[in-house]
Structure 1
Amino acid sequence: MENLLEDITDHVLFQAEGMIALILVLAGLPILRRIAPKVGLVDHPGGRKRQCTPTPLVGGIAIFLAVTTTLFTSTLFSEFKGLILGASALFVVGLLDDRYDLQAKLRFVLQAIIVSTALSIDGVWLSSMGSLAGVDLKLGILQFPITVLAVLGVINAINMLDGLDGLASGVVMLTLFFILGFSVESGSEIVLISSSLLGATLGFWLYNYRFRWRKRASVYMGDSGTILLGFSLSYIAVYLTLPQKTTNTLEPAYLLWLFALPLWDITTVLFKRIKSGRSPFLAGRDHIHHILLNHELSVRQTVLLIYGATLLGLSLGTSLYYFKFGSIGLYLSFIASLLFYIKVILRFEQKLSAEVIELNIARNKKENQRQNS
């Protein structure tokens, strides 16, 4: 009976955290939107940007304030001090980037320092790569650089997805649904953080997605939001693999599938940029959403298609995990999915290039005929 009452209390508590965060974001964003122009947090049209009007960059602020408010009213600070302090510091870096457009290399160095410090405070490291043929692949001293690089990879993968209305926030929400499920099973208070993040992200998404009654987003997340969410998600994912932290642990190999779509995209982009001799740090229009838009899909169609791909990756990885394919099965299947993704993207781009060449030839031919007549 006592266990039943504890379970009911825990479920009510984590649902309340999510609802409070949702309400705080919904109530706070209209206020922050009015403040944004006064503090210079507005994204203006131009360059690679597709919007036609200036848009407030305060979604990340709303998410941060909502999540930290719910966490500081609980007893979680002492247990997750590194997570909260690290997320706060990364939020500030993102905010400075939104306001002053920091250099990519400086931003990356600051992220690396903060992530390393935050993970060290809480002792959250990927200690193992999983089990292969019954042998536990302990990382030893490599757990530190591998965990930091993995977290930085997720942070920047989600940041790079933030190119269309509702895209990054929707992908994060889908991922958080799965993370929340595993958090509930973990027997850890990390479930309260997962719930709070999901509620806050949902609140922002309702302002950011292109619904039929709204032609464009009324607010953007900004780097402050994408960096905050990327770090929080990757921290929770690593935390759930640690037997000393949770009662039911995740297989480390499953984490690749948890972030499948962002990792597919960033790996493909880096591969193409390095192959062509371009800097991997510079921004560009070579991500999955740019390619789909170039194939004349609308913004909403592109976003929904990527939602579908995200859900497919999450569902496939979770199925493999629950059917106990083991570490080697999860690793090999993810590598196969990545190679397939790269092949499909390259074919899409080749087809688009051929269509552009044909269009230019036809245009030049008409121009020559006009001049000769």
Structure 2
Amino acid sequence: MQGDGGLPVNIDRYGPRLAALVAGMLLALPWYGLGLILQSIKLVLASALLTYAFMPAVIWLAHRIGALDRPGARRVHQQPTPRIGGLAVFISVNISLLFNFNYSVELKAICISGALVAALSMWDDVKGLSASWKLLGQLVAMLILFQSGMLLEFNQEERLVALLGSSWGIGIDMFLEYLITALWIIGIANAFNFLDGINGLAAALAAAVCLLMGLLAAVTAQVFMLLLCVAVAGSAIGFLPDNARYTRPARAFLGDTGSIYLGWMMAGIAVMGEWSDTSSLQAYAAPLLIFSVMIFDMIYTTIARIHRGDVTGLSSWVSYVGRDHLHHRLMYLGLSQKQTVMAVVAIALITGLAALVLVKSGYLSIWLLLGQGLVIYLLLSFIMVMAAQRVEDGE
């Protein structure tokens, strides 16, 4: 690949990419008579192959329009790298879903709002966009989800806010449901973007989270949730060959185009899913555990940045870029990029599998599983403090 703005050459031998394109398109077409599991496997393969096939074109486009991530003090990479790799992810998700002609209102709302978020994020990757405009665009995308009826609803018998709403007569319960839904989806989308700091981490984490949610969807026969999960998981897997490269430079990064889009899709799927019919504790604890790695990273770094004075408001919170995330701290302690990715994904799998057990557990088991997660993140907090101290001491 040529450096600094030149068009790429010899990205890869194109034979495997063309074969992947043909195979991916054939797998994306509807095959009638398949069971749910075979249909899911077919969609995972289709979206993975399509992402892999589209990457050379996306890399060429990035060089053509100058959408390159330059090396810097807060960057891990050492050469200009295309930063709109998420475009291939976005295209493959939508092609694999579009050709199956199997939609629900919620599925369409997630895809349409995700398209708006991806478009705004790509504009930011190419031209630059202020944090205020990005947030405004995400709020507009939330309106699409609300219009479809997607909402985190509290159990009528168990919620305190319902009692407050009844007493005050101002519908505070519904207001809080809309507010918490917006905070969840926008918060997770941006938290996931924060974790996209080293090769392979965001894509591997997205694949793990979506496969975990897909497993729940398969067991509970939530067809549309399962379709979204496997399409997003496959697209993330298909991106890894061009990004998760540890002995050679990555060919492309997800950029905001991919990381915010993937975070948005995952958060939307979590709202779409039916996590428990019997307990609000199960319904909310399960997705919190599945997404706990990115939630922990967002909360820890936000508190640390406010304490240091690096973040003073919402705009600076969205736009601030630093090397104080979980993956950076693990690398400060001596882990390689590959080892760091494996460690973070392992934590996500442990807490995610605990979430799947939790949805079928009694109250005592639920609290024990939540306690297990708390212990894990207390240990991680200690590790991050140690790493920060090492940086301050100049080791």
8 A contact 2:84–2:256 mirrored in 1: no
Q: For the residues of structure 2 that align with 1:293 and 1:341, how far apart are their CA atoms? A: 13
Q: In structure 2, how many angstroms separate the alpha carbons of the residues matched to 1:13 and 1:316?
A: 26
* 1:36–1:56 Cα contact (<8 Å) kept: yes
Aligned pair 1:298/2:336, yes or no? Answer: yes
**1:81·1:121 contact (CA, 8 Å) conserved in 2?**
no
Counterpart amino acid of 2:257? S
Q: 1:198 aligns with which of 227, 233, 239?
A: 233
Q: CA distance change for structure 1 residues 73 and 298 in 2, over 3 Å: closer, same or farther?
A: same
User: Within 1, Cα distance between the matches of 2:269 and 2:33?
Assistant: 21
TM-score, L = length of structure 2: 0.78
* Alignment-derived partner of residue 159 in structure 1: 193
1:120 to 146, 158, 162: 146
Q: Does 1:219 align with 2:252?
A: yes
**RMSD after superposition:** 2.7
* 1:148-199 deviation line (CA, Å, top 9, x unaligned): 0011111011100101000111111111110110121232322112111111
Residue 153 to residue 333, structure 1, CA distance change in 2 (3 Å): farther
- 1:201-226 per-position Cα deviation (integer Å, ceiling 9, x unaligned): 11001221125xx4232111110111
CA distance in 2, matches of 1:325, 1:8: 38
Does residue 25 (structure 1) correspond to residue 51 (structure 2)? The answer is: yes
Cα gap change, 1:11 to 1:298, in 2 (>3 Å): closer
Preserved contact between residue 44 and residue 230 of structure 2 (Cα < 8 Å): yes
Aligned equivalent of 1:48: 74
CA contact (8 A) 1:207 1:217 kept: yes
Cα distance in 1 for residues equivalent to 2:175 and 2:82: 44
- Structure 1 runs not aligned, ≥5 long: 1-5, 360-373
Matches within 5 A, 1:228-247: 228-241=261-274
Deviations 1:284-342 (A, max 9, x none): 11111222222333222222222222222223333444433477666666555544433
CA contact (8 A) 1:82 1:119 kept: yes
Decide whether aligned partners of structure 1 residues 53 and 333 sit closer, same or farther in structure 2, where only a CA change above 3 A counts.
same
Following superposition, which runs of at least 4 residues in structure 1 exceed 4 angstroms of deviation?
Answer: 136-139, 326-340
TM-superposed deviation, 1:109: 2.8
Match runs of 1:1-373 below 5 Å = 8-77=34-103, 79=105, 80-114=107-141, 116-128=142-154, 135=158, 139-187=173-221, 188-210=223-245, 214-241=247-274, 251-279=283-311, 280-281=317-318, 282-325=320-363, 334=373, 337-354=376-393, 356=394
Matched letter for residue 122 of structure 2: L
Q: Per-residue displacement from partner, 1:5-52 (whole Å, max 9, x unpaired)? A: x99522222222222111211111122222221122222222412212
Partners of 1:223 and 1:85 lie apart in 2 by 17
Shift in alpha-carbon separation, 1:125–1:289, aligned structure 2, 3 A: same
Would the alpha carbon gap of residues 16 and 126 (structure 1) be closer, same or farther in structure 2, given more than 3 Å must change? same
Q: Is the 8 A contact 1:161 1:168 kept in 2?
A: yes
2:314 alignment partner in structure 1: none
| Structure 1 range deviating more: 183-192 or 279-288 | 183-192
Which amino acid in the other structure matches residue 303 of structure 1? V
Matches of 2:294 and 2:140, distance apart in 1: 23
Contact 1:17 1:70 in 2 (8 A): yes
Distance 1:343 1:27, change over 3 A: same
How many residues end up aligned between the 2 structures?
Answer: 341
1-structure distance, mates of 2:146, 2:342: 38
C-alpha change, 1:233 and 1:109, in structure 2 (3 Å) is same
Alpha-carbon separation, structure 1, partners of 2:348 and 2:37: 27
- Within 2, Cα distance between the matches of 1:252 and 1:237? 10
Q: 1:242 to 1:264 in 2, by over 3 A?
A: closer
TM-superposition CA deviations, 1:218-275 (whole Å, max 9, x none): 111110111111111111111113789xxxx972221110101111111100011112
Between structure 1 and structure 2, the one with the greater Rg is 1
| CA–CA separation in structure 1 for the residues paired with 2:139 and 2:295 | 18
Task: Flag the 1:352–1:42 CA change in 2: closer, same or farther, 3 A.
Answer: closer
Q: Distance in 1 between matches of 2:344 and 2:371?
A: 23
Three-state SS of the structure 2 residue aligned to 1:297 is: coil
CA distance in structure 2 between the aligned counterparts of 1:184 and 1:74, rounded to whole angstroms:
17
Whole-angstrom distance in 1 between the partners of 2:189 and 2:100: 26
